[in-house]
Amino acid sequence: MKTIPKNAATRNLLCQCAAALLLLLWAYAATSKLLDFDRFRGELLNQAISHEAAYPLSWLLPLSELSAAGLLLFPNTSRAGFLLSAVLLTL
């Protein structure tokens, strides 16, 4: 069974590909939520969370997705972008 490649060039390429794919995911997810905001907020209000939490969450979720995409753009902040992506994927 093969593991993650040991040489730096291959590891760097894999990290860049993962960052690019996550960046596209978060940019699309946030944009679609913000473009049809009323529908997104309505769907969020239908979930099993309180209405008091749904209103701030309707703004925080797309903003955190855009933040993750922005952090993944730059090599210096990509680690924070990967961590934020992990948190968002577990929600």
For tokens 């473009």, what's the residue?
35
**DSSP strands (E only) in 1-91:** none
- pLDDT confidence of residue 11: 87
- pLDDT confidence of residue 5: 59
- pLDDT confidence of residue 9: 84
- pLDDT confidence of residue 83: 97
Per-residue pLDDT of the chain (91 residues; tens, 9 = 90+): 566 656 888 888 999 999 999 999 999 999 999 999 999 999 999 999 898 999 999 999 999 999 999 999 999 999 999 999 999 999 8
For residues 78 and 59, give the distance between their C-alpha atoms in angstroms, rounded to a whole number.
Answer: 23
For residues 13 and 44, give the distance between their C-alpha atoms in angstroms, rounded to a whole number.
Answer: 37
